[in-house]
């Protein structure tokens, strides 16, 4: 397969990180008393390359939409046509992601990567194909379609960053996409199908058994190429996962932090880290999905999610639910007064360092 190359991913700014660690120790609170909010504030400063931090000016949610041929196996509680219907719902503001985005002050973009229907021109500008192959008995994509989908994701990331986005949130929409995601998660982490499969859209026991069988069959074809991200996407993925992979890698190349959502975005993150080593430093896990394979994905990414609410919807809803915590972390570091500024006496005992802090 034609290689897809990304330039070397820059590291978040080390000087800003050190300044943020020092500032956390000077703020009017016991060091460490804000827990993970302090670590997140340091991460934001390093990503922004400045301390004190700036409030996020233009956070953006991008929802990648696609259909998957494996839906024909009866692995979802909903028929395949719901993908296109939900795209319309997202565009008209009626989806859960729209409500969560409004709550978090985030703009919404929907990208039709492989919806098996005609969608409005503006969202279909990077469409690769309609649907995908039925993984388990045929490849999901051709080699050319994998490359086109990864490039579509890269282009979308560039468009958002060039448009002023300083924080990106990723989401997904597509009937049967948790079957594809669980297959990829099992291939990448080594877990067995029965440990990877979840209820997804709310399938009953018979649907769960069909889903497990579909993942098992798809893994027989996918595991031999699990070491090769692009070939794994071709055999067992989908255009949306490939586009998400390119998007996440390019966001890191462009020094733009990303909040990951659930299982599908998690497996795309694993693939993106393989293609662009170091990209994971620019991402934070928004939540822990109720999909069982997500735990294995988070462990392999080395990410501890911000919230665990039992969500399994997708669309970016889990990431958006966590976003106010990330916003608070940045604002606490940037806007709290220091002991000197407030005229408050500091600690008389030297505080312990923040986790991962480097002392000069």
Please name which of 161, 142, 133, 179 lies closest in space to residue 247, comparing C-alpha atoms: 161
Domains in the chain and their CATH numbers?
59-321 (3.40.50.10210)
CA distance 222 to 236: 6
Predicted local confidence at residue 360, as pLDDT: 34
Kindly report, residue by residue over 146-175, the tens digit of the pLDDT. Answer: 999 999 999 999 999 999 999 999 999 999
Q: What is the DSSP letter of 336?
A: S
The residue among 305, 303, 272 whose CA lies nearest residue 290 is 305
**What pLDDT does 352 receive?**
67
Q: Can you give the pLDDT at residue 355?
A: 62
- pLDDT tier for residue 348 given thresholds of 50, 70 and 90: confident
pLDDT computed for residue 203 by the predictor: 82
What's CA 45's distance to the chain center, in Å?
20
What is the band of 358 on the pLDDT scale with cuts at 50, 70, 90?
Answer: very low
Judge contact between 286 and 305, C-beta under 8 A: yes
Residue from 150, 176, 155 nearest 234 by CA:
150
Percent of residues, the chain, with pLDDT higher than 90: 88
Label residue 282 by pLDDT band (50, 70, 90).
very high
**C-beta atoms surrounding 205 within 10 Å:** 8
At residue 207, does pLDDT exceed 90?
no
**Mean pLDDT score, 86-111:** 98
Q: What are the residue numbers of the active site?
A: 315
Q: Does the pLDDT value for residue 351 go beyond 90? A: no
Residue range 43-66: mean pLDDT, rounded: 98
Q: CA 15, 285, 71 angle in degrees (round to 5)? A: 145
Please tell me the predicted confidence (pLDDT) of residue 1: 58
Count CB atoms within 10 A of the CB of residue 57: 9
184-195 mean pLDDT? 93
Looking at residue 2, its pLDDT comes to: 58
pLDDT at residue 357 greater than cutoff 60: no
Question: Which pLDDT score is estimated for 43?
Answer: 98
Q: Which residues of 287-297 are buried (b: 16+ CB within 10 A; e: fewer)?
A: bbbbbbbbbbb
Q: What percent of the chain has pLDDT over 70?
A: 96
**Max alpha carbon distance in the chain (Å)?**
70
Tens-digit pLDDT profile for residues 215-258: 999 999 999 999 999 999 999 999 999 999 999 999 999 999 99
| pLDDT band at residue 197 using 50, 70 and 90 as cut-offs | confident
Q: What is the pTM of this model?
A: 0.94
pLDDT above 90 for 57:
yes
Does position 58 have pLDDT exceeding 50, yes or no? yes
Instruction: Check residues 130 and 192 and name the one with the higher pLDDT.
Output: 130
Residue 277 near residue 166 (C-beta atoms within 8 A): no
Separation CA 63–CA 76 (nearest Å): 20
Residue 208 pLDDT level (bands cut at 50, 70, 90): confident
What average pLDDT does the segment 84-111 reach? 98
Please state, in angstroms and rounded to a whole number, the distance separating the CA atoms of residues 169 and 58: 11
């Amino acid at each position: 397969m034609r290689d897809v190359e990304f330039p070397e991913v820059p590291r978040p700014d080390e000087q800003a990180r050190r300044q943020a660690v020092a500032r956390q120790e000077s703020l009017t609170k016991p060091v460490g008393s804000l827990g993970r909010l302090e670590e997140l504030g340091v991460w934001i400063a390093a990503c922004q390359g400045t301390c004190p931090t700036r409030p996020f000016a233009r956070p953006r949610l991008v929802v990648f939409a696609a259909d998957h041929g494996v839906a024909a196996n009866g692995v979802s509680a909903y028929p395949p046509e719901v993908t296109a219907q939900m795209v319309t719902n997202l565009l008209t503001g009626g989806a859960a992601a729209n409500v969560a985005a409004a709550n978090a002050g985030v703009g919404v973009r929907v990208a039709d990567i492989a919806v098996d229907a005609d969608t409005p021109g503006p969202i279909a500008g990077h469409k690769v194909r309609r649907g995908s192959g039925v993984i388990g008995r045929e490849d999901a994509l051709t080699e050319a379609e994998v490359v086109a989908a990864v490039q579509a994701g890269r282009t979308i990331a560039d468009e958002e960053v060039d448009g002023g986005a300083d924080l990106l949130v990723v989401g997904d929409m597509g009937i049967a996409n948790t079957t594809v995601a669980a297959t990829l998660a099992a291939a990448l982490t080594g877990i067995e199908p029965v440990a990877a499969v979840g209820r997804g859209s709310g399938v009953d026991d018979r649907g769960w058994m069909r889903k497990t069988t579909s993942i098992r069959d798809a893994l027989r074809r996918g595991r031999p190429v699990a070491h090769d991200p692009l070939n794994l996407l071709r055999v067992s993925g989908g255009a949306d996962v490939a586009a998400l992979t390119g998007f996440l890698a390019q966001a890191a190349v462009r020094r733009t932090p990303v909040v990951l959502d659930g299982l599908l975005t998690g497996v795309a993150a694993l693939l993106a880290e393989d293609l662009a080593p170091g990209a994971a430093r620019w991402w934070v896990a928004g939540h822990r999905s109720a999909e069982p394979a997500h735990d294995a994905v988070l462990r392999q990414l080395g990410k501890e999610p911000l919230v665990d609410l039992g969500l399994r919807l997708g669309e970016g809803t889990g990431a958006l639910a966590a976003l106010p915590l990330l916003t608070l972390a940045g604002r606490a570091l940037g806007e709290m007064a220091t002991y000197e500024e407030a005229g408050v006496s500091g600690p008389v005992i030297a505080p312990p360092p923040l986790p991962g802090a480097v002392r000069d």
